[in-house]
Structure 1
Amino acid sequence: MGLFDKLFGSTTKDSKTKLRDQFKDEKYFKNEIIRFTEIINDLSAQPNLTAFNYWSISSKFQRIISLRFSAGSPVSELVKDYGPALDNYVKGWEEKEATYADILLMISLGILFEISTEDFNRLVTYMEKTDNNKQLDNWRPDSLLWFLLNSRAKTENKGEGILFPPVYQPLYEITRLPKEEAEKAAADYMNNWYKMHKDDPWFNAHLKDRGYGGYWAWEVAAVVKVMGLDDSSFKDHPYYPYDMVHWKD
């Protein structure tokens, strides 16, 4: 089996899927996956890895998950990349650093992949350490993060508001609505999702020759999964990872 086969699976009936991304082709995603795999190998071979090194390795595994999903890989084949992403992520915890987007992504993927209780509890511990870290001046327990964590952990922590309200307050408000209203609000949120992220570093990344992994609203999918919403009205939205919600259906 060649390198491409290892990355994308064999050509069996079960592994044949179409490209999910609208901007790049299969060749682009293959090349990017190879590039990030090589970066992971180089980083992992370094002696005396620092917390930043572990975080960086985790971020590359996160990117590979997005790349492979964009390229059309079955979700069941992506789960194996989450394990090393999580292992390195928890090793990369630092007292003076906390990145909301990374934490939200790891929690959302953990929910979508239906990871084990043991692994999910590692996310809870990571979040508790971050919330209790006195060196983070502008950090406080976030209500959206804890809504997602409490879908399985059932802690007493409800959060103290939303850290980035322009983007995530509307999503959190969806979690407080009755199902039918939440389904309509989720569809509306998806219609505004991309432009709400105009200040994110990945915005318009598809215009570049490399570095683009796909635009996927993982956190919206996680909320849909937790709430058991009917997402049929926006299943074909180009930024909604429908297959991640329904891969075990």
Structure 2
Amino acid sequence: MQIYNSSKLAARKREPLLDYSEHYDFVVSGAVESYEIVAEGIRLRGDIDYDKAARMEATRQRAWDALDHLLISYSAGNPLDELRDFYPTVLDYWEVFARYDKIFDDSPEAGGHRVPHIDLYDLAYSQAVQLLSMCLLLGHSQLMPRWAPILDYENDDPDILIETLMTPFVPGRRPGVTYTRNLPYKKLQKVLDASPDKRPALMAKYLDEWYSASRREPYHGSHEAPNFTGYWSWEAAAITWLLDIDDSLFRDKPFYPAELVDHARHHYSAQQAIDALQPTRCEAGQPCPQAGSWWTPAKPDARRTFAQGEVMPAFPDSSYGATIWYREAE
């Protein structure tokens, strides 16, 4: 992503409170340095058995830095295509950290103490919401299954907001049972429960109350700290896209990243994203993309159940032509 100087930041920034010297330079230069240090450490040491705690902590710092870099780049005014291109790298860094974190947890260095990769019962909850919201808003819903093992690790009760964002795109997820962090997120339940015509007004109210309701969250008051990345209700934007809420009533309100919602809607609707994750067609000779019952017109009574990854057979003597398999709806 482009890195801005002070004059370009002043001309392009979306977050009016973002300052070059007090916030932007601190976050971005720290992130770039983190990427270089960790990449060099992994290049030199690979997976050899050395201080597992240090390796875990370094890759964790890089993962957090990448998230901050992503968020502050939206606040700074970077083009959304740049954020979209950078997002898979953020996920890659989190997967590397998760691997090293588990290696540490499995080692004597951990002393039998295991902690979540992202603790949903602590202040990291807001970062989990940011990561998932940006996944959807930047057009990467197909990557959502890769977040599941990261968020599930040592977290017990499924969270309602987390699962609302994840379950449409990750087959087999359980519905959420609790809000592990109540405010401001629990206020979204009124939006989720409402009829479509009532949702715009309720989301507008949520945004009006968002900052004051966030007073116990780590981002509240963060404009007074050097790690400030901007005040945005990423979850309001993600839910607006997911439920196809008309945002004309609240798109100009503070804390609502309207450009991200427009960007997501430009790429596809939530239903199109969901449909794209449900493969219904597979050519013979290819691995089955999804377990279930499949049939082909190339042979009568050819309906059968396939496991995911199983090679779909061909019927080369069929008068029908090429063998194409179609998945039956559940």
Contact (CA 8 Å) 2:18, 2:229: kept in 1 or not?
no
Which runs of 5 or more residues in structure 2 are unaligned?
5-10, 46-53, 102-113, 267-330
**Aligned twin of 2:247:** 231
Change over 3 Å in CA distance of 1:179–1:140 after alignment to 2 = same
1-structure distance, mates of 2:20, 2:254:
17
Residue 19 in 1 paired to residue 24 in 2? no
Aligned residue type for 1:22: P
For the residues of structure 2 that align with 1:142 and 1:64, how far apart are their CA atoms? 26
Amino acid at match of 1:76: D
Q: How does 1:133-212 map to 2 (within 5 A)?
A: 133=154, 139-208=156-225, 210-212=226-228
Query: Distance in 1 between the 2:66 and 2:86 partners?
Result: 6
| Counterparts in 2 of 1:238 and 1:27: CA distance versus 1, 3 Å | farther
By how many angstroms is 1:121 displaced? Answer: 1.2
CA contact (8 A) 2:191 2:202 kept: yes
Cα distance change, pair 71–156 in 1 and its aligned pair in 2 (3 A): closer
Give the structure 1 partner of residue 259 of structure 2. Answer: 243
Which residue number in structure 2 is paired with residue 40 of structure 1? 35
How many residues were matched structurally? 229
Structure 1 contact 29–71 (Cα < 8 Å) conserved: no
Residue aligned with 2:249, SS: helix
Question: In structure 1, how many angstroms separate the alpha carbons of the residues matched to 2:159 and 2:141?
Answer: 23
Given candidates 114, 118, 121, the residue that maps to 2:145 is 121
Work out the CA distance in 2 between the residues paired with 1:165 and 1:196.
9
Distance in 1, Cα, partners of 2:173 & 2:25 = 45
Q: Take 2:262 and 2:182, find their aligned partners in 1: how far apart are those partners?
A: 28
Fraction of identical pairs, as percent:
20
Q: 1:54 aligns with which of 33, 53, 59?
A: 59
Q: TM-score, normalised by structure 2?
A: 0.63
- The 1:156–1:39 alpha-carbon spacing in structure 2 relative to 1, beyond 3 Å, is closer
In 1, the alpha carbon distance for the partners of 2:139 and 2:242 equals 11
Distance 1:233 1:116 in 2: 26
Shift of 1:230: 0.9
Indicate the RMSD between aligned Cα atoms, in angstroms.
2.4
Q: How does 1:216-227 map to 2 (within 5 A)?
A: 216-227=232-243
Bigger Rg, which one: 2
- Give runs of ≥4 in structure 1 deviating > 4 Å: 25-30
CA distance in 1, matches of 2:256, 2:247: 10
Considering fraction of residues, name the structure with more strand.
2
**2:91 maps to 1:96:** no
Matched to 2:177, the amino acid is E
Q: Is the 8 A contact 1:190 1:240 kept in 2?
A: yes
Deviates more, 1:188-197 or 1:173-182: 173-182
- How far off its partner does 1:156 sit? 4.5
Q: Go from structure 1 to structure 2 and tell me whether the alpha carbon gap of 1:203 and 1:116 turns closer, same or farther (over 3 Å shift).
A: closer
**Equivalent residue, structure 1, for 2:104:** none
Q: Secondary structure at the match of 1:238?
A: coil
C-alpha deviation, 1:87, in angstroms? 1.1
Once residues 174 and 168 of structure 1 are traced to their aligned partners in structure 2, the CA distance between those partners, rounded to angstroms, is 11
Which secondary structure does the structure 1 equivalent of 2:184 belong to? helix
Q: Which stretch has the larger CA shift, 23-32 or 99-108?
A: 23-32
Which has the higher mean CA deviation after the structures are superposed, 46-55 or 173-182? 46-55
Deviates more, 1:42-51 or 1:238-247: 42-51
> What is aligned with 1:12?
none
Inter-partner Cα distance in structure 2 for 1:166 and 1:101: 10
